[in-house]
Amino acid sequence: MDAAGYPHMQGSGSAAASSCRAADYSAAWDAAQQQKRQRCQGSSSNDQVGSSTENKSPEASGAELTFDYGKDEEEDYYFEDDDDGCYDDDNDGSDYELDPTDYNQLLADKFDHLDLPPGVEATVPWLQKVERDVPGKFKSMSEIEEEIAKKYNFFKQFDTVEDFSDHHYAKNSVGKARKDWAKRIQHEWSLLEKDLPALIYVRVSENRMDLLRAVMIGPQGTPYHDGLFFFDAQFPASYPAVPPVVYYHSGGLRLNPNLYACGKVCLSLLGTWQGSSCEKWNSAQSTMLQVLISIQALVLNEKPYFNEPGYERYANSAEGVRAALDYNDTTFQYSCRTMLYSLRRPPQHFEDLVGGHFRERGRAILAACKHYLEGHEVGSKVPEDEDKKESQDGEGSSSSNVALTQQNKPALRGSRCPSFKTNMEVLFEELLMEFNVKGADTAKFRAQKLKNQQVAA
């Protein structure tokens, strides 16, 4: 850059420039040089700096100036704070092009440290992620929500993908496998595609047949309801002589005696826990499908407290019942935190499922949080949303219906840990924000929050 704010250009004496530019550009170059000198003398210091795409010189109006970035050297550029608006660059003869995109970037540099209020940044062109003046680049919230719903509705229970860059076992080579190994894996894929139960979704890799990822939706009536729980599996080279290895994406939380914070899945079928012969892996009969069904049915159950070895003998005692309820309280809090973890960092190839699932179930999850905050047991049935019920039955609801609803309302549980309410209130606010971003129906809860704020004020 020269002192007048124009990009440097190589003169006709440069062999490199001669090969790139026609001789008739010299007139345009002379005009640019003359204007440059005038601006540095202060005659036109108020002109906009860097407008290389609009040459205001009459002599240059007949020729189009073109500039190219230098290929062999890096160039630092910046705006001076001086009143003359000139660039400071001592390296004459550099080959540089300043197009409108670069000009916007230069302007953006001046705003790097400004704290623009919400909404303002969306009107600043260089802060927008999409190109300007291109139809169809901007989408309304309804269009975004419709796209999320469409992808979710078409999300397959079983499918193949190219790779798993974020898979827990991605860096673990399976080594040399036997000849019939690939054939057995393909058989496993066939079983999964045909017989996967509801609430389980699976992706396998075409390039890494040893890798598999599954997600389970927590069953209703359990402290895991509506949660998403991800598992990564790998088929060893000696499979099926040995069971697969499975890792649970815990986020550092242990929400089940069989699911460790470190990701270990404790299951007799996997050889990670002792068991009778019929409970252990059988190379002739056991399958990956059986592993997933066992986790869903035996691990994510309604009273996970009794999964702990030895605790089952307290199942019918008052002490055991109370301990199981407390464990469910903690488990549901961990499940909510796992929801937030999945929303903010959805595992690869399951982004559409995560967004669509919580968009669809967000209202029900928030209603359950409120229900439990009122003192009801975690996992108990949440009464039907009165707002939706009224809209379905028509306007107004008779007093007899209201009385019936109150009569059938589940009884409150006994004393619970005081921290439950405090923690759940925080989790509720975080879930409300995340679900709202995903397009879930949160209007009722946002309105109640606003009303509470007004009362408090």
- Catalytic residue positions? 266
The 10 Å CB-count burial string (b at 16+, else e) for 105-118 is ebeeeeeeeeeeee
Identify the burial level of 313 via C-beta atoms within 10 angstroms of its C-beta, where 0-12 means exposed, 13-18 middle and 19 or more buried.
Answer: exposed
- Say how far apart CA 263 and CA 273 lie, in whole Å: 15
- Say how far apart CA 14 and CA 29 lie, in whole Å: 14
∠ Cα 202 205 206 (to 5°): 130
- Say how far apart CA 445 and CA 389 lie, in whole Å: 16
Q: What 3 state SS string does 187-211 have?
A: HHHHHHHHHCCCCEEEEEECCCCCE
Q: Which residues contact 424 (CB under 8 A, 6 or more apart)?
A: 333, 336, 369, 372, 373
E strand spans, 262-397: none
Task: Note whether 63 and 25 are within 8 A (CB).
Answer: yes
- Indicate the SS3 state at residue 368: helix
What tokens appear for 302 in the block?
A: 């309604």
